[in-house]
Amino acid sequence: EAGVTQFPSHSVIEKGQTVTLRCDPISGHDNLYWYRRVMGKEIKFLLHFVKESKQDESGMPNNRFLAERTGGTYSTLKVQPAELEDSGVYFCASSQELGQGTDTQYFGPGTRLTVL
Amino acid sequence: GQQLNQSPQSMFIQEGEDVSMNCTSSSIFNTWLWYKQDPGEGPVLLIALYKAGELTSNGRLTAQFGITRKDSFLNISASIPSDVGIYFCAGPRLISTGKLIFGQGTTLQVKP
């Protein structure tokens, strides 16, 4: 069974440009999460989808970030326009169960975003 | 908001040594999770703890859920080079949601 995949693995863009990150969860997983780790700090929650609906987007930094999950399968996270502080590693995770704290979340390898 | 304070920040040890790292919080957590991130990969769940006082092992790894529900530790015995990576503690913000709070991570390096 394929794990969570993310594309691209690395992205280097200039401040003001737009970048779109993609996540393909494990097949059949209704819950999809986005997290971000800024260099040397903790991994921070961004948002949680249940199928195509946003269950919790309390971690989204500001309105320059837009996440979608059309059809309840893969998800995209768009940053527009990108700022220097958006640099970091963006992780996607998925889980099969109820979207609760006891679920096992499976993480993708992450997308390393560098904004110059 | 809830924060998890993880220590030490980094460790450089000799192969064969035992390792201990811990995580503390000012708030109660009802679940404690320990993840490991290998270089270039995403975090992988090592151990999950669900009850205060619980002691759980996974091979050479042992983790405990503190009695106060505000701390947890992870021990690795007889370290080997493949133990290298970043270890994160984590817990759900609320048991009813999947939102995880993570510690800052402990970077472990093992010298053969």
Res A3 pLDDT > 90: yes
Q: Report pLDDT digits (tens) over A61-91.
A: 999 999 999 888 999 999 999 999 999 999 9
pLDDT band at A32 (very low <50, low <70, confident <90, very high): very high
* Contact between chains at B98 and A105 (C-beta distance less than 8 A): yes
Res A98 pLDDT > 80: no
Q: Which residues have a Cβ under 8 Å from the Cβ of A108 and sit 6 or more positions away?
A: A3, A4, A5, A6, A23, A91, A92, A93, B42
Candidates B23, B24, B100, B104: best to mutate against A (most CBs of A within 10 A) is B100
- Say what the pLDDT of residue B61 is: 97
> Residue A27 CA to chain centroid, in angstroms?
17
- Say what the pLDDT of residue A99 is: 60
Window 37-66 of A, Cβ < 8 Å to B: 40-45, 48, 55-56, 58-59
Res A19 pLDDT > 90: yes
How far is it, in rounded angstroms, from Cα B12 to Cα A53? Answer: 44
Report yes or no: B19 and B67 within 8 Å, Cβ to Cβ: no
Task: Give A23 to chain B, closest Cα distance, Å.
Answer: 13
- Say what the pLDDT of residue B97 is: 73
Report yes or no: B112 and B59 within 8 Å, Cβ to Cβ: no
Report yes or no: A34 and A75 within 8 Å, Cβ to Cβ: yes
How far is it, in rounded angstroms, from Cα B107 to Cα B36? Answer: 10
Max Cα-Cα span within chain A: 39
Using the Cβ of A105 and the Cβ atoms of chain B, whether some distance falls under 8 Å is answered with yes
* Contact between chains at A100 and B103 (C-beta distance less than 8 A): no
* Contact between chains at B88 and A43 (C-beta distance less than 8 A): yes
**pLDDT, mean of residues A33-55:** 93
pLDDT band at B2 (very low <50, low <70, confident <90, very high): low
- Say what the pLDDT of residue B98 is: 81
> Which amino acid is located at B91 in the chain?
G
Res B93 pLDDT > 80: no
Res B54 pLDDT > 90: yes
Task: Give A110 to chain B, closest Cα distance, Å.
Answer: 6
Strands A10-13 and A111-115, sheet pairing: parallel
Strand partners, A35: A45, A91
- Say what the pLDDT of residue A1 is: 67
Res B95 pLDDT > 80: no
* Nearest partner of A83 among A39, A57, A42, A116, judged by Cα: A116
**pLDDT, mean of residues A14-25:** 97
Report yes or no: A3 and A93 within 8 Å, Cβ to Cβ: no
Three-state SS at A86 = helix
**pLDDT, mean of residues B66-92:** 95
Mean pLDDT of chain A: 93
- Say what the pLDDT of residue A44 is: 96
Mean pLDDT of chain B: 93
Report yes or no: A109 and A24 within 8 Å, Cβ to Cβ: no
Q: Report the percent of chain A where pLDDT is more than 70.
A: 95
* Contact between chains at B45 and A104 (C-beta distance less than 8 A): yes
